[in-house]
Amino acid sequence: MGYYIDLKNISIDKYAEILKSADLLPSRMILKDNIDDTFNIIKNQKVQNVDELQKALKNKNKLQTFSKLTSIQDEYLKILIREVNSYHQKPNRIKDFPEISEEVVLKLEKLGIKNTLQIFDKVLTKKSRNKISSQSGISEDEVLKLTKLTDLSRIRWVNHTFAFVLLEAGYDTVEKVANSDYKELHEKVKKLNEERNLYKGHIGLHDMKLCVEAAQDVSFEIEY
């Protein structure tokens, strides 16, 4: 599947069902309104999958044109494309991860690697990790740590800080997050932050539930 979910594999009908059952953010609950009728209209524009939907709404002009053609309100389409784009969020930058030294960052940059998308294909197996360790001069343990941070960064809404938090909490792969009890995960993360003050703000139980559900959408491609 690769770093990102392949949106071509999600048909419009399937995506409508996903949205119906999804525990959406409150600001995106409007997507459930008249969803069957709305998505039938979208299909009538020869949009067969989520990749084609993303392309049809990829900029302001295209979105407005699509709205005029379909009579679907601009605001609905704006929220819809935000939800679609959340599958392909920006990769996390290596230099932004806590406790990754500047030396490691510079060694990777010499290989043209600055973010998690760029390193993903190079850390899929132990053999490939050993290779990048030899090429860069970064220890195998440090490469494995970067691998796990990269894996966690593939989960929607997981930024560089939260990837590190999940790692430190012992949920250091997508598979572990996907198979976790979100209530237990929430408690462990909360306790960890109380002890070490890793992040500011508040991560609620509902946020953690969304995180676990998002992890379940991600393929377990990295071999450990």
Structure tokens at 35: 């969803």
- 131 touches 125 (CB < 8 A): no
Model confidence pLDDT, tens digit, residues 114-140: 999 999 999 999 999 999 999 999 999
* Residue indicated by tokens 């909360």: 190
Is 90 exceeded by the pLDDT of residue 24? no
Closest CA to 87 of 11, 32, 6: 6
Q: Which residues pair with 93 in a beta bridge?
A: 115
Tell me the pTM: 0.86
Cα–Cα distance for residue pair 122/113, rounded to 1 Å: 10
**Statement: residue 1 has pLDDT above 80:** no
pLDDT (0 to 100) of residue 25: 82
Question: CA 54, CA 90: separation in Å to the nearest integer?
Answer: 15
Per residue in 178-189, pLDDT (tens digit) is: 999 999 999 999
DSSP string covering 152-164, please? HHTSTT--HHHHH
> In this predicted model, what pLDDT tens digit does every residue of 2-22 receive, in sequence order?
999 899 999 999 999 999 988
For position 44, what pLDDT does the model report?
A: 96
* Angle formed at CA 145 by CA 139 and CA 150, multiple of 5 degrees: 125
Q: What share of the chain is helix, strand, coil (3-state, %, to 5)?
A: 65, 0, 35
**DSSP, residue by residue, 212-224:** HHHHTTS------
Helix (H, G, I), strand (E, B) or coil at 143: helix
Distance between CA atoms of residues 193 and 196, nearest Å: 5
Which CA distances in Å does 174 have to 53, 124, 178?
A: 27, 13, 6
CB atoms within 10 A of CB 24: 16
**199 within 8 A of 192, measured Cβ to Cβ:** no
* Bridge partners for 115 per DSSP: 93
Percent of the chain scoring above 90 in pLDDT = 88
Q: In this model, does residue 70 exceed pLDDT 90?
A: yes
User: Span 172-181, mean pLDDT?
Assistant: 98
| pLDDT on residue 49 | 98
Q: What local confidence, expressed as pLDDT, does residue 191 receive?
A: 96
To 10 degrees, the CA torsion angle through 101, 177, 32, 5? 60
Q: What does the alpha-carbon distance between residue 58 and residue 105 come to, in Å, rounded to a whole number?
A: 32
Helix pair 160-168, 182-196: axis angle to 10 deg: 100
The 10s digit of each residue's pLDDT in 41-55 is 999 999 999 999 999
